[in-house]
Chain A
Amino acid sequence: QVQLVQSGAEVKKPGASVKVSCKASGYTFTGTYIHWMRQAPGQGLEWMGWINPNGGGTKYAQKFQDRVTMTTDTSIATAYMELSRLRSDDTAIYYCAKYSGFDYFFDRWGQGTLVTVPS
């Protein structure tokens, strides 16, 4: 079955970078995009961007444009999201999600990765 398994929780200092991984299985990894979202404590979901594993094309939300980098390693069916210059308000659960391939929804999500940036 389709699964997205993310890396474990991280604690980072302000100004540092964090790289979260998302390993896919059960479908053709290069067949559809991977999106990244985040959820701050007690807040709603926020879309961060997507990457096309077939070629590496990306689109980032303007809010994160200068701090986020999304990459993939197709040899191991894994997507990565790196966020730099971390601030305390980046403390959140970060999710990867598989794009359905049509009509703009996400049909499978990873379990989430908690990133904590103490103030």
Chain B
Amino acid sequence: QSALTQPASVSGSPGQSITISCTGTSSDVGNYNLVSWYQQHPGKAPQLIIYEVTKRPSGVSNRFSGSKSGNTAALTISGLQAEDEADYYCCSYVGSEAFDYVFGAGTKVTVL
């Protein structure tokens, strides 16, 4: 399965905003509003931070927001904090015969 395309790394200073893009195709990101985002700190399991493109689970900071336009989804982190330094993965439902979900390769966020 072809992974969704994410930048390998994004960095920002504390307090700044950063945006991570996630580009797929008309068969995945562009076909469903079923993009989710996961945060993964080193050595830890992924944690859900955004689902259905824009929704935040309870307990997740409102500094995290999601959006989508066409075949590209995006995660924005505003008011960047040191604790936001982690890997971020996007995921889209696909629902094909070959596989149900496709993930991005991940973006390393560095807080300068």
List residues of A whose CB falls within 8 A of some B CB: 35, 37, 43-47, 50, 59, 61-63, 95, 97, 100, 103-112
Contact = CB atoms under 8 A, between A and B. Distances in A.
30 contacts: A44-B3, A44-B103, A44-B104, A44-B105, A44-B106, A45-B106, A46-B1, A47-B100, A47-B101, A47-B103, A59-B100, A61-B98, A61-B100, A62-B98, A63-B1, A95-B46, A103-B34, A103-B52, A104-B32, A104-B34, A104-B36, A104-B93, A105-B48, A105-B52, A105-B91, A106-B36, A106-B38, A108-B48, A111-B44, A111-B45
A-B CB proximity, top 5 nearest: A44-B105, A105-B36, A104-B93, A109-B45, A62-B98
A100 B89 contact: no
Interface of B: 1, 3, 32, 34, 36, 38, 44-48, 51-52, 57, 89, 91, 93, 97-106
Given A63-B1, A103-B34, A105-B52, A44 B89 contact: yes
Contacts of A61: 1, 98-100
Nearest to A45: B103
Contacts of B57: 107
A35 B98 CA distance: 15
Given A61-B98, A104-B34, A46 B51 contact: no
Contacts of A46: 1, 103
Contacts of B98: 61-63
Contact of B51 (A37, A47, A103): A103
Given A97-B46, A107-B57, 4 more contacts: A63-B1, A103-B34, A105-B36, A109-B45
Contacts of A107: 48, 57
Contacts of B101: 35, 47, 104
